[in-house]
Amino acid sequence: MSARVLIVDDHPDLREPIIEKLSQMGISAIGAGDGVEALELLAKNPGIAVMLSDIRMPRMGGHDLALEATRTYPHLKVMLMTGFSEDAIPAALMRSRQIRTLFKPFALNGMAELVRQMLVAPD
């Protein structure tokens, strides 16, 4: 089965536990360390339905990644993670119904349930 969820975070200590938690729930997930790598993985894995991405990352951050990814893959659902209130979501992203925000710190169980809901929600 191809990956259905892409986790994008430059910190493996956050990215890997998320992937592991989703796997325990039977959800296939892969990880990327930044937006550039994420776009490469999206191109190689057409089965990705949900992308969970940090906002602050090197090379390409979450805002730019979300704009590019949803423009290229219009059915992709995105959840942006941030620990900073000043990372306000730009208006262009807020208008998109397919983009949500998750504030750090968060419980893995709660995050995993949100991802599961995004996977089963109609487009």
> pLDDT at residue 1 above 50?
no
What does the alpha-carbon distance between residue 98 and residue 42 come to, in Å, rounded to a whole number? 16
Indicate the domain borders of the chain: 5-120
Query: pLDDT, tens digit, for every residue of 100-114?
Result: 778 888 899 999 999
Choices 3.40.50.2000, 3.40.50.300, 2.150.10.10, 3.40.50.2300: CATH for 5-120: 3.40.50.2300
State the chain's mean pLDDT as an integer.
87
The residue type found at 108 is L
Alpha carbons 42 and 51: distance in angstroms, whole number: 9
Q: Answer whether residue 8 shows pLDDT above 90.
A: yes
**pTM, to two decimals:** 0.88
What is d(CA 50, CA 52) in angstroms, rounded to the nearest whole number? 7
